[in-house]
Amino acid sequence: MLAEIALVVTTTTTLSTGFGAYRLRRKLRTDPLTGLGNRLALAEAFAWARRRSPLVAVALGDMNGFKAINDTHGHRFGDRVLIEVAAILQRTACRRELVVRLHGDEFAVLIPCDTPDHAARRLDTYRAAVAALDEVEGQPITASMALGVITAPSESADLSALLASADDRMYGDKHTHNSTRKEQLKCRSISPAKAS
């Protein structure tokens, strides 16, 4: 009888310890605001993808005009926007892709792929999905995300280098977005009388 009790206690303790370790491991790899993975989760998934795909792509993106959203509506509303964007990115991800939040309004997507064109097409899909967000908590917003992607052969791919290159491309995309936005605003400010 004592042996059975000891076995039950040992088994329960082992299960509790195992479950506790699993919860801690998951917590360390999860962004607390959005529930997405974090940088550690990205590093682990990247190592896994390098062994299973000929090419690996990393996309980096941040929200256009997010500071204005925070300044206008407050940080609590800004957090709600980030949660909504995270959910959109997560729903848009294909089976082998991983979406993570790095910090602030910056997100990354790991895209195992066969061709660079595949990664570029996926970038367009993510961009369009975020642009469809037009309301959060009943408040109309204009959402868009600057994105940059870089693809490399899996055997030579380095995560830090890919993130740095994707960051450069993202800022190029952001510059293009800002230039286009300024041009649109400029065109709106010209009245028909002045235009003729």
**pLDDT at residue 5 is higher than 80:** no
The pTM assigned to this predicted structure is 0.79
Of 28, 101, 93, the C-alpha closest to 66 is: 101
Segment 24-80, tens digit of pLDDT: 777 889 999 999 999 999 999 999 999 999 999 999 999 999 999 999 999 999 999
Asked whether residue 49 is assigned to any structural domain, the reply reads yes
Taking CA atoms, 84 is separated from 34, 36, 91, in Å, by: 8, 12, 11
Buried/exposed 43-59: b ≥16 CB within 10 Å, e otherwise: bebbeebbeebebbbbb
Asked whether residue 12 is assigned to any structural domain, the reply reads no
Asked whether residue 180 is assigned to any structural domain, the reply reads no
Q: Which domain holds residue 147?
A: 31-172
Asked whether residue 150 is assigned to any structural domain, the reply reads yes
Instruction: List all residues 6 or more positions away from 114 whose beta carbon is below 8 Å from its beta carbon.
Output: 53, 54, 55
Asked whether residue 18 is assigned to any structural domain, the reply reads no
Buried/exposed 105-143: b ≥16 CB within 10 Å, e otherwise: bebbbbbbbeeeebbeebbeebbebbeebeebeeeebeb
Asked whether residue 155 is assigned to any structural domain, the reply reads yes
**pLDDT at residue 182 is higher than 70:** no
What's the one-letter identity of residue 148? Answer: G
* Euclidean distance between CA atoms 60 and 44, whole angstroms: 17
Asked whether residue 19 is assigned to any structural domain, the reply reads no
Asked whether residue 166 is assigned to any structural domain, the reply reads yes
Instruction: List all residues 6 or more positions away from 73 whose beta carbon is below 8 Å from its beta carbon.
Output: 139
pLDDT given for residue 179 in this prediction: 60
Please tell me whether residue 184 adopts helix, strand or coil conformation. Answer: helix
* Euclidean distance between CA atoms 193 and 162, whole angstroms: 50
Query: How many domains does the chain contain in total?
Result: 1
Instruction: Grade residue 185 by pLDDT with cuts at 50, 70 and 90.
Output: very low
pLDDT given for residue 194 in this prediction: 45
- Contact (Cβ atoms closer than 8 angstroms) between residue 61 and residue 149: no
Q: Find the mean pLDDT for residues 9-28.
A: 65
Q: What is the CATH number of the domain that holds 52?
A: 3.30.70.270
Q: Find the mean pLDDT for residues 147-170.
A: 96
Segment 91-149, tens digit of pLDDT: 999 989 999 999 999 999 999 998 989 999 999 999 999 999 999 999 999 999 999 99
User: Which of residues 36 and 4 earns the better pLDDT score?
Assistant: 36
- Longest Cα–Cα distance of the chain, Å, equals 98
